[in-house]
């Protein structure tokens, strides 16, 4: 790390405490970040990292403590006040209006006068310069999760912040886009921008960050220089124990095809979407088929076609040999299909509803509705069982979905689907924004479920994840699917070439 002259910290937190009733989210937290420093904040889901960042950004007010900005004490009572100071934040859960275009969403946070047409040109220029290309006129509802992440990052960069807060900014970016983002962040740091960086990807922390503050249960438990640590030592600091490794036993059951997709072609109704062309694939009982690809290459369209959200030709999708292409999502669930969408809040769970009520959304088939009436006590018991079985950290079945950290909500959603004993499970981005401990648990859960005879299809932009848990891997690029390859017969370089559209061939 380049030696820096001692300067006043850009931001300094002194004894920040934030309570939610009996829960202490931040307990006497102190840290400081210098101009030009890239500073990581590490911790498990629920450790208090996101709450602390929201305090800095003015989205949450601390109960105790001081915040010093460029050497003077300030009170930041709103995101608008934070932006006026020069603080920008990219949230893990996006804060975009879906009915507006990219440029309209960006215009909402700009204080200076603007011309929308000129701003659109600026958005397009800046986004391409930073390797995060965007169509400024595209409505946000038509964007994939990865593309929405780009909007959040570019919107922040256009504000020319003095402090940039990034909460899981690379969770749905491709490896190439991550490298480009890192180049951008290093350039910003060289220009004096202070950066607070939250990520569960420890190799990213090592490659990018100058210092790290470790949090556990709302408290600062240590500091580290990431380049002097290993991923294992950083993980131990985060979770207080050795990082578990995913065990992949052989499947000893009977092989049979559970899901078969035959020549699936589907024109996207979204003018900005990706049409599917001649998709062939099979998933057997006892295996996990992984689908890699750059966001926006047809993943959403494929999952909609398989889950029943979008109807297809009757014989293009078969479950246990029975055509289901014309069946709706509910009818497919009745036949043993489970689905975990990539968007936790809004699709996987309703933010303002309790976990018990969210359990009803798909779990009502498990005896929670009798003679047309909801047995809410049964829903509470069902939710409580999921919370206990999957180690969901929350106050109980009546906790609101939006009150959970990303990792804990993901564990609940995955657990809800598994608790319904599916024959086929579709999972999109299973560990997006989930800490290393919870990621390991979720991945092992999927492997164990597959070895019980369940067929699992996983869509993920995490190549490391796919190589860890999948039996076969295929790539979706431009709406076309490559031939699935056994995990041992391919590598990240070959998959990366396919993701870029090279040597693409239809699956047999």
CA 85 from chain centre, in angstroms, equals 29
From the options 3.40.718.10, 2.160.10.10, 3.40.50.300, 3.40.50.1460, give the CATH code of 249-336+424-508.
3.40.50.300
Tell me the pLDDT band of 173, cut-offs 50, 70 and 90.
low
**Domain 11-239 sits in which CATH superfamily?**
P-loop containing nucleotide triphosphate hydrolases (3.40.50.300)
pLDDT (0 to 100) of residue 426:
98
Tens of pLDDT, residue by residue over 357-368, are: 999 999 999 889
Beta strand 194-198 pairing with 163-167:
parallel
Tell me: pLDDT of 150 over 90.
no
pLDDT (0 to 100) of residue 506:
41
Tell me: pLDDT of 153 over 90.
no
Give the C-alpha distances (Å, rounded to integers) separating 475 from 98, 174, 279, 403, 478: 28, 13, 11, 35, 10
Instruction: Name which residue leads in pLDDT, 169 or 214.
Output: 214
> pTM of the predicted model, to two decimals?
0.71
The end-to-end CA distance of the chain, in Å, is 50
Identical fold for domains 11-239 and 249-336+424-508, yes or no, is yes
pLDDT (average), residues 207-234: 91
Residue 284 φ/ψ, nearest 5 degrees: -95, 160
pLDDT (average), residues 274-294: 95
Query: Cα–Cα–Cα angle for 304, 306, 309, nearest 5°?
Result: 40
* Cα–Cα distance measured from residue 144 to residue 10, given in angstroms and rounded to the nearest whole number: 34
**Contact criterion met (CB below 8 Å) for 216 and 47:** yes
Break the chain into its structural domains and give their ranges.
11-239, 249-336+424-508, 346-421
**Contact criterion met (CB below 8 Å) for 164 and 188:** yes
3-state helix, strand, coil in the chain (%, to 5): 35, 25, 40
Q: Which residue has the tokens 């990366």?
A: 496
pLDDT (0 to 100) of residue 396:
94
Residues 64-75 as b/e (b if ≥16 CB within 10 A, e otherwise) read ebebbbeeeeee
Tens of pLDDT, residue by residue over 395-438, are: 899 999 988 877 789 899 999 999 999 999 999 989 876 777 77
Provide, rounded to the nearest whole percent, the portion of the chain with pLDDT above 90: 59
pLDDT (0 to 100) of residue 3:
47
* Cα–Cα distance measured from residue 78 to residue 128, given in angstroms and rounded to the nearest whole number: 31
Tell me: pLDDT of 507 over 70.
no
């Amino acid at each position: 790390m380049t030696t820096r002259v001692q300067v006043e910290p850009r931001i300094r937190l002194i004894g920040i405490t934030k309570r939610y009733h009996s829960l202490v989210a931040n307990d006497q937290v102190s840290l400081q970040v210098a101009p030009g420093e890239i500073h990581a904040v590490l911790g498990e889901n629920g450790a208090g990292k996101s709450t602390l960042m929201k305090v800095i950004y003015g989205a949450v007010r601390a109960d105790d403590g001081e915040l010093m900005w460029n050497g003077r004490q300030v009170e930041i009572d709103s995101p608008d006040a934070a932006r006026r100071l020069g603080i920008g934040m990219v949230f893990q859960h996006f804060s975009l209006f879906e009915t507006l275009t990219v440029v309209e969403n960006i215009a909402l946070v700009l204080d200076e006068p603007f011309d929308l047409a000129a701003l659109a040109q600026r958005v397009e220029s800046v986004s391409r310069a930073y390797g995060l290309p965007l169509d400024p006129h595209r409505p946000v509802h038509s964007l994939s999760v990865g593309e929405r992440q780009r909007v959040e990052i570019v919107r922040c960069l256009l504000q020319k912040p003095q402090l940039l807060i990034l909460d899981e900014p690379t969770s749905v970016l491709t490896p190439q886009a991550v490298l480009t983002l890192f180049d951008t962040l290093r350039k910003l740091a060289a220009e004096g921008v202070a950066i607070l960086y939250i990520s569960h990807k420890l190799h990213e922390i090592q490659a990018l960050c100058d210092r790290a503050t470790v949090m556990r249960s709302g408290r600062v438990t240590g500091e580290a220089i990431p380049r002097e640590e290993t991923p294992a030592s950083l993980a131990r600091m985060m979770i207080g124990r050795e990082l578990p490794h995913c065990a992949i036993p052989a499947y000893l059951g009977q092989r049979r095809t559970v899901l078969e997709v035959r020549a699936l072609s589907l024109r996207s109704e979204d003018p900005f979407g990706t049409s599917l062309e001649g998709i062939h694939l099979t998933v057997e009982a006892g295996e996990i088929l992984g689908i890699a690809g750059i966001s926006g290459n047809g993943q959403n369209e494929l999952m909609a076609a398989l889950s029943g959200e979008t109807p297809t030709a009757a014989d293009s999708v078969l479950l246990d040999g029975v055509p289901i292409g014309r069946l709706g999502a509910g009818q497919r669930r009745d036949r043993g299909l489970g689905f975990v969408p990539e968007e936790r809040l809004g699709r996987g769970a309703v933010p303002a509803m309790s976990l018990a009520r969210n359990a009803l959304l798909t779990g009502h088939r498990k005896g929670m509705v009798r003679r047309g009436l909801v047995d809410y006590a049964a829903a509470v018991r069902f939710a409580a069982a999921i919370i206990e079985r999957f180690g969901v950290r929350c106050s109980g079945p009546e906790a609101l979905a939006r009150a959970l950290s990303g990792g804990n909500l993901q564990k609940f959603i995955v657990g809800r689907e598994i608790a319904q004993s599916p024959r086929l499970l579709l999972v999109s981005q299973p560990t997006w924004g989930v800490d290393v401990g919870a990621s390991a648990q979720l991945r092992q859960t999927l492997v164990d479920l597959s070895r019980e005879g369940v067929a699992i299809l996983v869509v993920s932009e995490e190549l490391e994840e796919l190589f860890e848990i999948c039996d076969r891997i295929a790539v979706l690029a431009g709406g076309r699917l490559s031939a699935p390859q056994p995990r041992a017969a391919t590598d990240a370089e070959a998959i990366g070439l396919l993701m870029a559209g090279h040597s693409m061939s239809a699956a047999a």
